[in-house]
Amino acid sequence: MIPPQTLQGGRTPAESEDAAVQAASGEPTTVEATTAEPTTVEPDVTQAVYALTDRSRAASRILASATRATKDRALRAVAAALTERQDTVLAANALDVEAGRANGTSAYLLDRLSLDPGRVAGLARALEELAALPDPVGSAVRGQTLPNGIRLRQVRVPLGVVAAIYEARPNVTIDIAGLALKSGNAVILRGGSAAAHTNAALVEIIGAVLEESGLPADAVLSVDQYGRAGAAALMGARGRVDVLIPRGGRDLIQTVVRESSVPVIETGEGNVHIFLDESADAGMATDILLNAKTQRPSVCNTVETLLIHSGAAAAPAVLGRLADAGVRLHVDGRAQALLPEGTASEPATDDDWGREYMALDLAVGVVDSVDEALAHIRRWSTGHSEAIITNDLANSERFIAGVDSAAVLVNASTRFVDGGELGLGAEVGISTQKMHARGPMGLAELTTTKWIISGEGQVRQ
Q: What is the pLDDT of residue 41?
A: 61
- Please give the average per-residue pLDDT across 1-25, as a whole number: 37
pLDDT band at 39 (very low <50, low <70, confident <90, very high): low
How many other C-beta atoms are found inside a 10 Å radius of the C-beta of residue 389?
A: 30
- Please give the average per-residue pLDDT across 193-209, as a whole number: 95
Q: What is the pLDDT of residue 132?
A: 95
The span from the CA of 143 to the CA of 38, in Å, is 44
Coil, strand or helix at 241 = strand
Angle between helices 86-102 and 117-132 (to 10 degrees): 120
pLDDT tens profile 227-247: 999 999 999 999 999 999 998
Residue 42 has pLDDT above 80, yes or no: no
Q: What is the pLDDT of residue 23?
A: 31
pLDDT tens profile 302-336: 999 999 999 999 999 999 999 999 999 999 999 99
The span from the CA of 324 to the CA of 236, in Å, is 49
Q: What is the pLDDT of residue 428?
A: 79
- Please give the average per-residue pLDDT across 275-285, as a whole number: 96
pTM of the full structure: 0.79
Residue 6 has pLDDT above 90, yes or no: no
Residue 32 has pLDDT above 50, yes or no: no
Q: 3-state secondary structure string, 383-442?
A: CCEEEEECCCHHHHHHHHHHCCCCEEEECCCHHHCCCCCCCCCCCCCEECCCCCCCEECC
pLDDT tens profile 264-274: 988 877 899 99
Q: Which of 441, 437, 415, 417 is nearest to 178 (CA)?
A: 441
Coil, strand or helix at 2 = coil
pLDDT tens profile 61-112: 999 999 999 999 999 999 999 999 999 999 999 999 999 999 888 887 898 8
Q: What is the pLDDT of residue 40?
A: 55
Residue 399 has pLDDT above 80, yes or no: yes
Residue 25 has pLDDT above 50, yes or no: no
Q: What is the pLDDT of residue 434?
A: 77
Q: What is the pLDDT of residue 26?
A: 34
